[in-house]
Structure 1
Amino acid sequence: MRTRILVVDDDTKITSMLKRALTYEGYEVEVATNGTQALALAAGKPDLIILDIMLPVMDGLAVCRQIRASSDIPILMLTARDDTADRVLGLDTGADDYLVKPFALEELLARIRALLRRHPRENEAEVLQYGDLTLNTATREGFRGQRSFTLTAKEYELLLYFLQNPQRVLTRDELMARIWGFDFSGESNVLEVYIGYLRSKLEAGGEPRLIQTVRGVGYALKEQRS
């Protein structure tokens, strides 16, 4: 099941950008444009909420208080207010983190990953293993032996699928459809780019390659024959 993020903001340019960027990273995204909608969608228990303060109907601080009264869903406040007093107020209201507009997308993604690591979904912890490679699905952290490495959302989905299908040759079309859906043309090299990212992390300590290229077909998670 994909990680669900609720984006709450009345600026359609921001919600459109965030929905596209977060979907590209592998998250499932819902959007609310006012406080009332936010509370209704929050009742569905998303895994994380990105919440603007300046909202119509009910402001973000009131929304945060109501959500926090009954739920520990991680909340990242995203707002144009950058005074220290405003940041303290947001955190005291119950937000887990605070990011000021304008923001760098990479910083937002990093903060999302950090919040999700601190708030793993209940009853979904599982450790998948192949050889000396393990993946903790609660913390989304990978290991080669005792060496740990972090993963972006898309890297995590790709490695998870490999570990769910060890030693099986996965075609390029299958991986593209599974991880990216049908948003990319067959000529896109996004898969090759992310395979490269994963290999760099899996082999950073000089470990032998586990993600093998099957020429003309795709890739497979398997140990190299000596």
Structure 2
Amino acid sequence: MLDNANAQERESKPLVLIVDDERDIADMLKGYFELSGYLACVAYDGEAAIKAISRKPDVILLDVNMPGRDGFSVCRAIRDSVSCPIIFLTARVEDADMIDGFASGGDDYVAKPFSLQVLGARVAAQLAREKRRSTSSVVRMNDDISIDFRRMQVMVHGAPVSLPRKEYEICALLAKHPSQVFDRDMIYEQVWNAPGDSSVVTEHVRRLRKALAQAGADASCIRTVWGVGYSWGA
């Protein structure tokens, strides 16, 4: 009975993972979110955060300035394993730091000191965005490939294909706009949500095509438009 009760609570309450080496701040945030109707757990360093993702949090609050493994490093280490929103908490406010944060896989950036109410609103907004995304159904893109936008999952002949988040998002972006050509800068801006080195898009597209081909799909559906960019074609 207790296990069933815990499972029902988890289904009804989002889990917030709080990662901060300042224990007073971490514990304060845990108390705030629990009082606000969330479940909350805490990790006090980067290594503990990486282990804690096994609990499958719905959103992660990740401090940047931690000794040892900093927040950017943790984000890069877990981003391919988790699709939930990651919000950085940091005293850094320079544009370069913000770009690093988004490039490493973060979804939002809250500068310290912050208002608990503002942080709570940011968390709620990210969760609402994920919920809107989850209302989409499975869409068949062609004879080989379908996409489950609810689970952020690409499937080939009905079998799921293991893709890192960036490859999935590139695939979904192109598939949602068939025949529209996206240059690398447009793809980077849409997928990474920040300016940066768009040359990395080429490597992600190569990996995406390879994964689709290995799964038995015709990867030529992701077309290269020479001198321009990429598009989803028949």
Normalised by the size of structure 2, how large is the TM-score? 0.51
Contact 1:99 1:108 (8 Å CA) reproduced: yes
* 1:22–1:29 CA contact under 8 A, matched in 2: yes
Instruction: State the match for 1:19 in structure 2.
Output: 30
Distance 1:43 1:62 in 2: 18
Counterpart position of 2:127: 116
Counterparts in 2 of 1:18-97, with a 5 A limit? 18-97=29-108
| 1:101 partnered with 2:115 | no
CA contact under 8 A between 1:3 and 1:28: conserved in structure 2? yes
User: Percent identity of the aligned residues?
Assistant: 42
When residues 39 and 121 of structure 1 are mapped into structure 2, their CA distance, relative to the original with a 3 A threshold, is: farther
> What is the SS of the residue equivalent to 1:5?
strand
How many residue pairs get matched?
126
Deviation of 1:108 (Å): 0.3
Q: TM-score, normalised by structure 1?
A: 0.52
RMSD: 2.2
Query: How far apart in 2 are the matches of 1:77 and 1:44?
Result: 19
Q: CA deviation at 1:123?
A: 7.9
Q: Deviations over 1:65-84 (max 9, x none)?
A: 11112221110000111111
After TM superposition, where is structure 1 displaced by more than 4 Å over at least 4 residues in a row?
121-125
Q: For the residues of structure 1 that align with 2:104 and 2:63, how far apart are their CA atoms?
A: 13
Q: CA deviation at 1:55?
A: 1.6
Gaps of 5+ in 2: 1-10, 137-149, 151-234
Higher helix share: 2
Quickly say closer, same or farther: Cα 1:66–1:55, change in 2 above 3 A.
same
Paired letter, 1:63: V
